[in-house]
Structure 1
Amino acid sequence: YFFEAIARSILIADLDCTMVGECALTSDRHEISSLRCPPGRGRILDPPSMLGCFTCQPGSFQVLKAANASCLRCPKQTAVCNTTHVIMQPGYMVEATANLSNMSVMSPVVDVNKTYACPNAAACPGGQLSYQSQSSMCAVGYVGRACIWPAAGYASSDAAPLRFVQCPTSRLGLLLLSAFLIVKDVLLFAISSFSVLGAKAESKESGVLLNQLMSFATVNSICFMVIAQRDVYQQLNGFAEHFLFSCGLAMDLARGQGGGGTSIACVIHAILGTDYVTLWMRFFAASLTPVMLIIILSCLQDPWLAFIVGTNCFLPSLCGRAAWHFVAYKPSEEEATFIGDLAPGESMVSYFIPVIATLMCFFAVTIWSWMRAVSVAKAPLPPHVLYISRAYKSEHAGWELERLLRKMLLALIQGAFPITIHPVSLLALTSIVLMFSLVAYLKLKPYKKDAFNQLETLLLMIGVSMPILTIMSVGMTLMMGAVAAAMIRDHRRD
């Protein structure tokens, strides 16, 4: 329906045109304080003598029945944008009120054409703006611009700083979570300790092979999680998706890293009652159990043995947690860059110095302690020296340190360049680290048995190629998605 009124002068306090398709008022003088238009139509004054509700032009939309609502420009990165509907592409969002059907003024949606890129693409499933069928821009557990803040009852997971999990709501649930986090560290430390204490001069082939495969699993896990962020993973059936997630979780736990479903921040929040858990709080909380285990084993056995076992078990994951302070992302072109816990106005020098000093201390103390343990040991060699040197030639007795430093570097890179934010940078740096290790193994061949040198070289070659192939796969997926989106837009335009 179309409603039209023509007069010399039109004075109306409140005109409701929501029951008609379009309405037009033509007069030399008009004063209309409130003009309500139906969704898909906006208040337009064109020419100066004509005021009314007219259908929004292509590339604009209007989803309110609010007073004096005008058509707004479609935001960027939309999957669908017509006069009455806006659906964002996954990984992007716009700010919007929870219920547009109850809005009586235009101001809460004026900025909806400002698009925010979500650093965790899974947090933004592709929300919908519509008068009656609106869906949330953020996934369950995520709130705020770019969906970077946890909702009430949620906290950052131990797997990544911008991935949130639901915290237990009961005391029993919190106790079980705390017990799991402690038992996980205790079991890993106990297994490693018994392996070291039982070390003999002749190394078992199974132990060397397991060590090599676990190192390879680190790279495999990184590449798997990058693929898991893409559409290929989302198209898997439920059983396959849960199976692959369980495999990734098992690899993380076997390496002593936090799984995606656990959050030490939930425990800290319950104990301290603070609304915001800093990265340093999580770092120190994650360090408590390892430090206590090292102290206990030092009292029961040998301090050097305890330190070697403790650094090998826990130092890579602690490096990854410290590197969370370097995580940087920019939600939009107009927004400032977010960096870890850096507060607005805080000096970047004072923010980064403690983090860099901590990481430098980790690497320096590890290199010094491991090299000293091997160099000063005399016959009969203590168990911890036998454990780290028995598989290698005498001139490369401390070569196990290379594997530990490699794990620390990979954990640091994975922490500073999360999969959800910088997948390509993560894969490229991972490949570079493995390339240096590959060159070292090709030149030095540190194992006593040449078969182990060949196997390690083969695994490293596969490890170098996997990130490169993953980058190509992700790039191809993104290119195909962009082409498909362009074809859809052209089809709609026609």
Structure 2
Amino acid sequence: MMGGGLDAGTLEVVNGQVLVENCSANHGGAVQATNVSVASGGMVHVRNSSAGSSGGGLDAGTLEVVNGQVLVENCFANHGGGIFSKFGIGIGSAGQVKLSKCAAFFDGGGLFLQSGRLLGQDVSRGDLIVEDGIAVKGRGGGLFLGSGDIKMRRGTFTGCSAAVHSGVDIFANGTVAISILKHHNSNEEAVSSSINNEQPLSLNIASVDPPPGSGVVRNPDNTTLAFYTCPPNFVRLSNNAESRCVECPTSPTKECSSRHLELEGGFMVDLADPANLSGWYRCPNVQACPGGVVEAAEVEGERCRILKPMCQEGFIGLGCAQCNSTTHARADRSVLQCAKCTNSRLEVSLQVLFYAVTDTSLFACAALSVLNAGSKKTNSGVLLNQLMAFTAVSGSIMSGMMQSQSFGQLQDDTKTWLHGLGLAVDVVQGQSSTSDMSLECVLHYFGFEQSLFNAHCLSSIMPLILIAVLAVANNPWLAMVVGTNVFLPGFVAFFGKYLVMLRLRPEKDPVGEARFEYLPRFGFLPSSFPADLCAITAILMAILVCGAAGVSGWLYTVFRHHESPPAHVKYLTMAYKPEFAYWEVERLVRKTFILLAKFTLPIMVSPALQMETIASILMLSVALYVVCRPYEIGAWNLAEAGLLLVALFMTNLTTCLLANDLHWAHSQGTQVALIFLICSLAGEPWLQLRKFFVEPFWSCLKGISIGMAVLIAFALLSERQERQLNAAKKQQKEAEHVSGDVGVAGHKAASLRLSVWERKKKDFHGSEPGYKLISVSADLTGPQLLLQKLRLRPCSRTEGSFAERQGAV
């Protein structure tokens, strides 16, 4: 029996529709015809039919779909579950053949072409769509070609399967040429081959569009094309359809599937070659790597889709350790932070003004302190120097605290407050830098190369100008002392930025070698020279020479013979005992080493090493002060040792904070308490914790810096009172001195003056008739006898009141 619903020699459907359903037959379960033609927008729709032998939906000698559609759904047969054709199928420029949920017990679950051609009249047009075609015990779940050739524009196969994993989508014994092949599997199981052709070198697929995350592989003899999905813990992100799945990176992976890769924060993968994901790296600056999310491209030739970038904006390179020079530059605070550069003339002018004003104000204050140095060091001056030395330590500790993970979890505005306070500490210690400012951005704006070396040179211009001006205006040695005190620690510490060592993978890994990314490059060196070793040697020599020059200059100034020491020598020596006149050098060296440790060992890379280096410097300083007691006044020694101990305690607290961040059992409440305590000791006010618990800001604690400021204020008040008292005593001594000189000469002339005075009184009685002398007073101490007050009374009481006269006799 043939054609369960329709049996015809020729079936032509022109601008109309034919619907056949729920039919069965031995050949052509719904329709059987020698020739079937669909044109002018016609449609043949067959569904829910079956055939015992061939063509579950349609059995035709030839099928031509010129301009229309043939749709076969849910049909079954032994061969050609949807369509069976003996001699060929043609799909025209606007034609489409679609087979859905058709199955064959043997071959050709969707379409079976016994011989002839499956041809699109225009190779750039004509579609064949097969969805969920199944060859239960045979081949060609989507399409089976017994002999002949296939040539069409687009073939789409979705969810097809075959019992023999060969030709799941297409099995052919002839030439196959498809312009665009789309394959979508409904499950994640790998298959052996999507297309199998028994004729060698006869498979020509111009473009393959696999499912996202799937790969494509062709046999060398070009007989097989296989689509596959990746097994667990493998992913395929390459835009090359023939790339294989690669193993997901083990350490940094948060989530990985055949088409999706998500990394943990603090890691990145180099996607320059998505077919090789072995190039994963740890990020020295964890905040620069938020955890990238990548998905496979949906179309062959396109790059993988980056849903979340590997590096934050402005960061590039392996480990996101470099800055994008077109928009960002290394921040002044750390080489591992990037600041966004501006093209605004006003903003650049304000930044330049900030640098200039900061350097000038610090230099001017220091110069005035030196010029106003008296013969005796004041309490306020000593305390102020101790406070500035303390801020050098607290600034480094605050920087380490603000780069901890726990600090990153605070409220944004709380962090903004603390970052602002960190800037204040930097300014006090002479470091005009913030995380949002960059000297390299200034260089970029004016067209110079962005590099650490150029930034180092730029940062030295203003200090050199100020030192030169003071040297010309006053004294070169004075300028040297002030310039060394204010600028040398920062200048020497800048060299530490070149020496930052990074390790982007564990040391045992083949690519886990130490990296010196920020060393200057000397182009004049021969290629045979180890460039990194030469650069490191040059940097260490520069640190040694600059530090030794500053210390030697101070020591030479102190030990030079001065009959009358100038102001800058008094400034360096007068607070200390004579045998420790050089002790101010200790403060300079301590500040230099602390800043050098801060820049050379960034807290992001070596948190424990930086904290322990600072702690070691502080412990050595405490030991020196306890043993030597260099100050003339014991209270000053106690104050200095106390500040050093507080700084050492803050260092230990910060080390504890950083260590807790790495432990799985740490409590955020404990971390917040540590941050609060560190800020309080550092004297950082306005750490308002209640907002962290969603309450309004309320708490304001002030620490050591505030306490020192109060002591300095009391010292200034006491010194003012002392100056007033000394001035009064000086005036009294001058008066006593004058009185003593007058007494010697006055004693000799006392009798003579007295006799003269008596005679003048007698003469007065005769010169003023009608008046009687009542009383008279005169100054007998001066060189001239001075009549101070004269009281007269008229001889007649009724003639008037008393009269008084005063004047010289």
Q: Indicate whether the TM-score tops 0.5.
A: yes
Matched, 1:158 2:345: no
Residue of structure 1 in register with 2:392 after alignment: 218
Query: Which residue matches 2:455?
Result: 282
Deviation at 1:138, TM superposition (A): 0.9
- The answer to whether the Cα contact below 8 Å between 2:330 and 2:438 also exists between their aligned partners in 1 is yes
Preserved CA contact (<8 Å) 1:119 1:331 = yes
The whole-number CA distance in structure 1 between the counterparts of 2:387 and 2:184 is 67
Q: 1:153: how far off?
A: 2.1
Q: In structure 2, which of residues 134, 149, 160 is the aligned counterpart of residue 3 of structure 1?
A: 160
Partner of 1:468: 652
- Looking at structure 2, the residues matched to 158 and 119 of structure 1 have their Cα atoms a distance apart, in angstroms, of 17
Q: Distance in 2 between matches of 1:285 and 1:121?
A: 29
1:261 correspondence with 2:426 = no
Which protein has greater RCO, CA pairs closer than 8 Å, 6+ apart?
1
- Is structure 2 residue 263 aligned with structure 1 residue 88? yes
- Verify: 1:300 aligned to 2:484, yes or no: no
Aligned to 1:243: 417
Say if 2:230 and 2:245, in contact at 8 Å, map to a contact too: yes
Match of 2:634 in 1: 450
Residues paired across the two proteins, number: 469
Moved more, 377-386 or 59-68: 59-68
1:314 to partner: Cα distance: 0.5
The amino acid of 1:396's aligned partner reads F
Query: Given residue 183 of structure 2, which amino acid in structure 1 is its aligned partner?
Result: C
| 8 Å Cα contact 1:37/1:65 also seen in 2 | no
Partners of 2:395 and 2:497 in 1: CA distance: 19
Which residue does 1:327 correspond to in 2? 500
Q: TM-score, normalised by structure 2?
A: 0.54
Gaps of 5+ in 1: 98-107, 484-494
Which residue type is aligned with residue 276 of structure 2? D
- Alpha-carbon distance, 1:12 to partner: 6.7
CA distance in 1, matches of 2:204, 2:377: 89
Instruction: Please tell me whether residue 404 in structure 1 is matched to residue 582 in structure 2.
Output: no
Matches within 5 A, 1:187-226: 187-226=361-400
Kindly report which structure 2 residues correspond to 1:20-169, keeping only aligned pairs within 5 A, or say none: 20-22=186-188, 24=191, 25=193, 36-43=209-216, 52-63=226-237, 67-75=241-249, 76-96=251-271, 108-131=273-296, 134-151=307-324, 152-169=326-343
Residue 295 and residue 269 in structure 1: after superposition, are their counterparts in 2 closer, same or farther (change >3 A)? same
Q: How far does residue 41 in structure 1 lie from its aligned partner after superposition?
A: 4.2
Q: 1:349 to 1:142 in 2, by over 3 A?
A: closer
Q: 1 CA distance for matches of 2:177 and 2:308? A: 35
Aligned to 1:315: 488
Q: Distance in 2 between matches of 1:305 and 1:368?
A: 15
| 2:519 matches 1:341 | yes
Q: CA shift at 1:158, angstroms?
A: 1.3
SS at match of 1:295: helix
CA 1:210–1:116 in 2, change beyond 3 Å: closer, same or farther? same
1:454: how far off?
Answer: 1.7
SS in 1 for 2:416: helix
1:180-203 CA deviation, whole Å, 9 max, x = no partner? 212211111011111111112333
1:145 is displaced (CA, Å) by 2.1
- CA gap of 1:111–1:471, structure 2 versus 1, over 3 A, is farther
Distance in 2 (alpha carbons) for counterparts of 1:163 and 1:191: 31
Deviations along 1:199-229, one digit per CA (max 9) or x if unpaired, are 1233332332232222222222222222322
Q: Does the aligned pair in 2 maintain the 1:39–1:65 contact within 8 Å?
A: no
Partner residue in 2 for 1:486: none
Q: Amino acid of the residue matched to residue 440 of structure 1?
A: L
Computing the radius of gyration from Cα coordinates, the structure with the larger value is: 2
Amino acid across the alignment from 1:206: S
Q: Distance in 2 between matches of 1:190 and 1:386?
A: 18
TM-score (norm 1): 0.86
Deviation at 1:52, TM superposition (A): 4.7
Aligned equivalent of 1:270, options 424, 439, 445: 445
1:401 deviates by 1.0
Q: Is the 8 A contact 1:37 1:66 kept in 2?
A: no
Find the counterpart in structure 2 of residue 479 from structure 1: 663
CA contact (8 A) 1:391 1:447 kept: yes
- Separation in structure 2 between the aligned mates of residue 70 and residue 50 of structure 1, nearest angstrom: 15
Q: Deviations over 1:221-241 (max 9, x none)?
A: 222222322221111112210
Distance 2:567 2:631 in 1: 19
Q: How far 1:474 sits from its partner (Å)?
A: 1.6
Q: Residue 105 of structure 1 corresponds to which residue in structure 2? A: none
1:269-325 deviation digits (Å, cap 9, x = unpaired): 333x24x43322222211111111111001111111111000010011111111222
- Note the C-alpha offset of 1:415: 2.0
Partner of 1:103: none
The structure with more helix, counted as a fraction of residues: 1
Check whether the contact 1:37–1:43 (CA below 8 A) recurs between aligned residues.
yes
SS at match of 2:255: strand
**Alignment deviations for residues 408-454 of structure 1 (CA, whole Å, 9 cap, x no partner):** 11122222212222222211211111121111111101122222212
Q: Distance in 1 between matches of 2:353 and 2:567?
A: 30
Q: Which stretch has the larger CA shift, 345-354 or 316-325?
A: 345-354
User: 2:501, 2:515 within 8 Å by CA — same for their partners in 1?
Assistant: yes
Amino acid at match of 1:357: M
Q: Identity, % of aligned pairs?
A: 29
Contact 2:358 2:427 in 1 (8 A): yes
Structure 1: how far apart are the matches of 2:258 and 2:512? Answer: 28
- Report the equivalent of 2:183: 17
Deviation (angstroms), 1:335: 6.3
Contact 2:470 2:479 (C-alpha < 8 Å) held by counterparts: yes
CA contact (8 A) 2:238 2:274 kept: no
CA distance in 2, matches of 1:255, 1:71: 55
Contact 1:20 1:38 in 2 (8 A): no
Distance 1:452 1:68 in 2: 77
Name the one with the larger strand percent.
Answer: 2
Contact 1:15 1:32 in 2 (8 A): no
Distance, in Å, in 2 between the alignment partners of 1:317 and 1:359 is 11
Q: CA deviation at 1:482?
A: 11
Check 1:459–1:266 CA distance in 2 against 1; reply closer, same or farther (3 A cut).
same
Per-residue CA deviation, residues 43-92 of structure 1 (Å, 9 max, x unaligned), is: 5899xx99754543332233577623533211232233344432222221
SS at match of 1:109: coil
Aligned-residue CA RMSD (Å): 3.0
| Deviation for aligned residue 1:133 | 6.4
Q: Call closer, same or farther: CA 1:143–1:296 in 2, change over 3 Å.
A: same
Helix, strand or coil for the counterpart of 2:638? helix
Give the aligned residue type for 2:595.
A
